[in-house]
Amino acid sequence: MYEVIFYLTAAIAVLAAGAILKVSHPVHAALYLVISLLALALIFFLLGAPLLAALQVMIYAGAIMVLFLFLIMVMNLRSERNQSLSLPSGWKGPAILALILWLELMLLLNRYPAEETNEMTAIEPKAVGHALFGPYLVLVEAAAVLLLAALVAALYLSRKGRS
């Protein structure tokens, strides 16, 4: 049962991502992206990472999606402006390239001598927190600076960018 749910969710994640290739309206694409991200959150949960599952829902599905949708609304995009309903003519090359990339990665990853004996144990949020504010503390601070830098950059651009 566990396996069935896992593969089913994975299929949803992949198919939803694939759908972004086809849809024409940005809102639809955003919705497919949300579906893919939520499916991924479920996968995280199934893999035993409950904290990440929650964060995935909050940050991606919550925050980032809102950003996307907000921008779509601001730009007031209608589908006729994004007229590329069908795939552009030169789609074969990139498609083959991506396929090759995937096949290569698959072949290379398959060589991995995976021992199947490991028991699945959930890593509790507490362990993650310990790691985060233990050895990774310096980086947490650094990430804070990164966010600040992004904030400053975004503020400047949105202030000066208005023509």
Partner 1 sequence: MSQFLWLIPGTPMLGALIIALLGGLLQRRHLAIMATCAAAIAFLVVLLTWLAGAATSQPLQQTLYTWIAVGDWNPTIGFILDRLALIMVSVVSGVGLLIHIYSISFMAEDSDQRRYYFFLNLFLAGMLILVLADNLLLLYLGWELVGLCSFALIGFWYHEPMRASAGRKAFITTRIGDMSLALGIFLLYSQFNDLSLSYLLANAAAQWEAGSQLAILTALLILGGAIGKSAQLPLQVWLPDAMAGPSPVSALIHAATMVTAGVYLIARTYPLFELAPHVQWSVAAIGAITIIYGASAALAQNDFKRILAYSTISQVGYMFLALGCGAYALALFHLVTHAFFKSLLFLAAGTVIHSSGNEHNIHNLGRLGNHSPLVRWSFLIGAASLAGFPLITAGFYSKEAILTATWSAPAGPLLWVFAAFGVLLTAVYIFRVYFLVFQGSQSSASMPSVSGSMTWPLLILALFSLIGGFVEFPEGWPAPHLWSTWLEDEFKSVVLPPLAIAYSLQFITSLLPLIGIVLAFVLVRRKQIGHSLPIIVFLRRGWGFDALYQTMLIQPYFSLARFLKNTDTLLVEGTLQKLTHACLIFATACRSGVEHGVLDKSINGLLAGLRFGYARLSATQNGLLTRYALMISAGAVFLLSYWLW
Partner 2 sequence: MHSADLISLAPFIVLILGGLTVLALGIWPQHVSTRTLATVSAMFLLLGAATTVLWETPQTVNNMLIIDNLGRLFAQFFMFGAVAIIILSFNYAPTKNEVREEYLSLILFATLGMTLLVTSHNLVTAFVGLEILAVPLFALVAWKPTRSGAIEGGVKYAILAGFAAAFFLYGITIAYASTGTLNLAALGSITTDNYLLIVAATLILVGVGFKLALVPFHMWAPDIYQAAPAPITALFASIAKVAVLVFLIRLLCLQLQNIWEALLPLLGILAVVTMIVGNLLALYQQNLKRLLAYSSIAHLGYILVALSAGNSLGRDAAIYYALTYALMNLCIFAVVAAFSRPDQDRQNLEEYRGLGRRHPTLGIAIGICLLALAGLPPTAGFIAKLLAFGAAIKAGYLILAVIAVINTALSFYYYLRILIVFYGEKSTKQDVIHLSQGTLSIVIISSLLIIGLGIFPGWILDLIETL
Partner 3 sequence: MIPLTHSLIIAALLFSLGLLIILLRRELLFILMGLEVMFNGAALTAVAAGQYWNNADGQVLTIFLMVVTAAELAVALILVWLAYEHFKVTQIDMLTQLKDDTRGEPP
Where along the sequence are the contacts to partner 2 (CB under 8 A)? 108-109, 111-112, 134-139, 141-143, 145-146, 148-150, 152-157, 160-161, 163
CB of 29 closer than 8 Å to CB of 68: no
Residues in the site for partner 1, rule: CB under 8 A?
Answer: 93-94, 97-98, 100-101, 104-105, 107-108
CB of 42 closer than 8 Å to CB of 62: no
Among 12, 35, 54, 123, binds partner 3 (CB under 8 A): 123
Question: Which residues are CB-contacts of 55 (< 8 A; sequence separation ≥ 6)?
Answer: none
Among 38, 42, 43, 61, binds partner 3 (CB under 8 A): 43
Give CA separation, 118 vs 21, 27, 43, 60, 121, in Å.
Answer: 37, 42, 18, 30, 9
Q: Closest CB to partner 2 among 88 and 135?
A: 135
Q: Which does 138 bind (CB under 5 to 8 A by kind): partner 3, partner 1, partner 2, none?
A: partner 2
3 near partner 3, judged by CB under 8 A: yes
CB of 19 closer than 8 Å to CB of 31: no
